[in-house]
Amino acid sequence: MSYPYVLLSAAVSLDGYLDDTGPERLLLSGPADFDRVDEVRAASDAILVGAGTIRADNPRLLVNSAERRAARVAEGRPAYPLKVTVTASGDLDPAAKFWHTGGEKAVYTTDAGAERAARLLGDSAEVVPLGPDLDWRALLEHLYVVHGVRRLMVEGGGTVHTQLLRQGLADELQLVLAPLLVGDPAAPRLFGPGAYQSGRLRLTETRRIEDVVLMRYEPTAPGTGAVPAAADRHWLRIACELAALCPPSKTAFSVGAVVVAADGTELARGHSREGDDPVVHAEEAALAKIDPADPRLAAATVYSSLEPCARRASRPAPCAELILRAGVRRVVTAWREPDTFVAAADGSGILAQAGAEVVVLPEYEAQAKAPNGHLVR
């Protein structure tokens, strides 16, 4: 499955409440931050809000800057991003501003909700049934494949943010903290109860914007089993970037690798032909930097831009075997090894036969192949 980059955006008060606090809506941000949000919208392919937010706030969700709209058109994109909402029941107000401003709209709903939504909206929006229940992974894949959405901005509300974070589908969280105490026990909180990812989020930026503070976070904890999480995409991108650091070779692939503990702690990274070793492989270089007795290895994930090798001439043990010896039982890769140097290589098969889970994210194949363009056509 391929998904767009999912960015969650929310304004929150000091005591953790969202800004949609009732009929007299409390605006937590100021003009400068509203302009920043407009910039983020303009950079997105689609903007998503829950049906509850449409009912409570009646948003238009537009790119307000004429200059930014013109820039989008000049790039060959529509002036406005696709506007998306999610509803289980299909209970939508056809008079809401959401349907009568901006460009194209899409509604993702259940099989039961699709008939009602189509009846209420007519040709105002595309209605997409996802099955008996709302399936976020199916929704994101449909946006990616059918609408070409590569960057999705999610503006809420709290239920939508909670579901995406709990399922490990949010690539980035942007929080704007306002210096206000709401104090209303009925005000909606930022996130609801439930099991979230283990480990700490990574803080990637803080920025003062007038009297509010923007904080940007990324998840770090790998997924589990065969189901990829947003953090898996983050770490695999890093592995692909490491591949570009490899000294060029006509007889070996350029590969990058990262080993990450279950709580999102990076244990080590490496790349092919690293340092003074002209034949070292990426996974081998990374694992060599970790104490073999480190108890975190058993639950760690190895990210490799290319499938770990099954056979090699330069060393006795191929990387698939080194990974298994280290106790790692989950590998995420971008690209299956071609027959360029080893016919019918199947490192994934060796790993799977030993009980390891191998996850392939093909959307990163082009990035993984880039430093190997002279070897693979």
Round the average pLDDT of the chain to a whole number and report it: 93
Task: Report d(CA 330, CA 225) in Å as an integer.
Answer: 7
CA angle 44–47–50, rounded 5-degree value: 160
Q: Residue 377 — pLDDT band, cuts 50, 70, 90? A: low
H or E segment and range at residue 270: strand 266-271
Residue 246 predicted with pLDDT over 60: yes
Each residue of 252-278: pLDDT tens digit?
A: 999 999 999 999 999 999 999 999 899
Task: Report d(CA 354, CA 257) in Å as an integer.
Answer: 20
Query: Nearest-CA neighbor of 339 among 282, 367, 283, 377?
Result: 377
CB 18, CB 11: distance < 8 Å: yes
Query: Nearest-CA neighbor of 341 among 278, 251, 256?
Result: 251
Q: Residue 20 — pLDDT band, cuts 50, 70, 90? A: low
CB 358, CB 323: distance < 8 Å: no
- Chain-centroid distance of CA 346 in Å reads 28
Each residue of 132-154: pLDDT tens digit?
A: 999 999 999 999 999 999 999 99
> What are the two backbone dihedrals, phi and then psi, of residue 330, each rounded to the nearest 5 degrees?
-145, 130
Residue range 231-253: average pLDDT?
A: 95
Residue range 343-368: average pLDDT?
A: 94
Q: What percent of the chain has pLDDT over 90?
A: 79
